[in-house]
């Protein structure tokens, strides 16, 4: 059984929540999200927001907070073989409803099909926010080029406005 030990990144003024499934081995070792060198998560978000790619954990946290993005994973604990989403079993979900309460989060984005499936199975209907699938930034998703990911992930800009575009 693996336990999720990385704290969520979430400021009270966050407008969107991005959820993955469960941290990779590299992320668990680094103690922060999307630490695998070939994961394109921060490259994609930096391109979407027109910023430089953050490198250090502190820069990544500042980037997320500055852009009003909360970040966490659906799973609190599970059985998993290394970093393989397809091997995930015996899931206990994180308290997503507790995280979003008291924030300005308007929408939830799921990074990949596994995150989407787990969210629908374990989190709904406890979170009454619109939610959307985005293609995985994982290196395992070789079918999506960086440019294609940036194009599809750009939809989050429409959900971030303080004017409430929902």
What digits encode the pLDDT tens for the residues 24-63?
889 989 999 999 999 999 999 999 999 999 999 999 999 9
Residue 26 within any structural domain of the chain: yes
Six-digit token string for 41:
């998560």
What digits encode the pLDDT tens for the residues 133-153?
999 998 888 788 999 999 999
Residue 89 within any structural domain of the chain: yes
Residue 166 within any structural domain of the chain: no
Helices 41-49, 57-66: inter-axial angle, 10-degree rounding: 40
Assess whether pLDDT exceeds 60 at residue 162.
no
Q: Structurally, how many domains does the chain consist of? A: 1
What digits encode the pLDDT tens for the residues 59-101?
999 999 999 999 999 999 998 787 777 778 899 999 999 999 9
Helix/strand/coil (H, E, C) string of the chain?
CEECCCCCECCCCCCEEEEECCCCHHHHHHCCCCCCCCCCHHHHHHHHHCCCCCCCHHHHHHHHHHCCEEEEECEEEEECCCCCHHHCEEEEECCHHHHHCCCCCCEEEEECHHHHHHHHHHCCCCCCCCEEEECCCCCCCCCCCHHHHHHHHHHHHHHCCCCCCC
Residue 148 within any structural domain of the chain: yes
Residue 18 within any structural domain of the chain: yes
User: Which residue range(s) make up the domain with 151?
Assistant: 2-159
Residue 19 within any structural domain of the chain: yes
CATH number assigned to the domain comprising residue 52: 3.40.470.10
Give CA–CA dist 101/96, Å, rounded.
9
Report the pLDDT value the prediction gives residue 164, as an integer from 0 to 100.
38
Give CA–CA dist 6/19, Å, rounded.
13
């Amino acid at each position: 059984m693996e336990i999720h030990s990385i704290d969520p990144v979430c400021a009270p003024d966050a407008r969107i929540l991005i959820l993955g499934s469960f941290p990779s081995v590299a992320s668990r070792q680094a103690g922060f999200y999307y630490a695998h060198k070939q994961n394109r998560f921060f490259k994609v978000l930096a391109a979407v927001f027109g910023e430089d790619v953050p490198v250090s954990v502190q820069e990544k946290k500042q980037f997320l907070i500055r852009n009003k993005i909360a970040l966490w994973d659906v799973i609190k604990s599970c059985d998993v073989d290394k970093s393989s989403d397809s091997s995930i079993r015996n899931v206990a979900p994180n308290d997503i409803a507790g995280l979003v309460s008291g924030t300005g989060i308007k929408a939830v984005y799921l990074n990949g099909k596994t995150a989407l499936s787990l969210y629908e199975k374990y989190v709904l209907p406890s979170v009454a926010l619109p939610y959307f699938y985005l293609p995985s930034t994982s290196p395992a998703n070789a079918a999506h080029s960086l440019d294609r990911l940036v194009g599809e992930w750009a939809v989050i800009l429409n959900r971030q406005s303080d004017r409430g575009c929902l």
